[in-house]
């Protein structure tokens, strides 16, 4: 089975359109939640190496977010619901785009080089499973294009994976 990700495009929306079928192929035959989270984080980091400095998942465990599979520098291990960008996205169950993390009240600076962030919740059957978190060393790196495609990836991921919330 081919497991590599191939990216030939440069424009952001085109890269997403190119990698989403490849991610779908990676996760389609695998029901293990952690394996799929690991492959999705790797695929996203590989697809956008100059734009994404950190990508990973925080999983909801007994009311707080706990670090899951990721690509990048070591990260904060636990984040309380409602705290920072990840905790707020989890509490409000909505995607949050932060153009400049230094201007975000209560931002948790796990990586001092981070300048922008997007966090996408992972709901299933009314329960929050966790969040997908992407950071960039560049301000204003994320926008509605990212939100649309990342939410699509999360929907596909949650649909195929067996996990504690299933």
pLDDT per residue as tens digits for the range 22-77 = 999 999 988 899 999 999 999 999 999 999 999 999 999 999 999 999 999 999 99
How confident is residue 93, by pLDDT bands cut at 50, 70 and 90? very high
58 belongs to a structural domain:
yes
Domain containing 40 equals 12-160
**99: domain CATH number?**
3.30.450.40
5 belongs to a structural domain:
no
Q: Within 13 A of 108's CA, how many CA atoms are on the CB side?
A: 17
130 belongs to a structural domain:
yes
3 belongs to a structural domain:
no
Q: Which pLDDT does position 1 carry in this prediction?
A: 43
């Amino acid at each position: 089975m081919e497991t590599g990700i191939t990216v030939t495009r440069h424009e952001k929306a085109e890269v997403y359109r190119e990698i989403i079928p490849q991610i779908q192929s990676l996760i389609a035959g695998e029901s293990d939640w952690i394996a799929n989270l690991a492959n999705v984080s790797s695929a996203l980091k590989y697809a956008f190496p100059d734009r994404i400095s950190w990508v990973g998942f925080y999983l909801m465990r007994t009311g707080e977010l706990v670090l899951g599979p990721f690509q990048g520098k070591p990260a904060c291990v636990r984040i309380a619901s409602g705290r920072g960008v990840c905790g707020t996205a989890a509490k409000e169950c909505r995607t949050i785009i932060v153009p400049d993390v230094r201007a975000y009240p209560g931002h948790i600076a796990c990586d001092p080089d981070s300048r922008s962030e997007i966090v996408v919740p992972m709901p299933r059957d009314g329960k929050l499973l966790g969040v997908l978190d992407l950071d960039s060393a560049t301000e204003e790196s994320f926008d509605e294009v990212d939100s649309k495609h990342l939410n699509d990836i999360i929907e596909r991921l949650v649909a195929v994976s067996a996990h504690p919330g299933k």
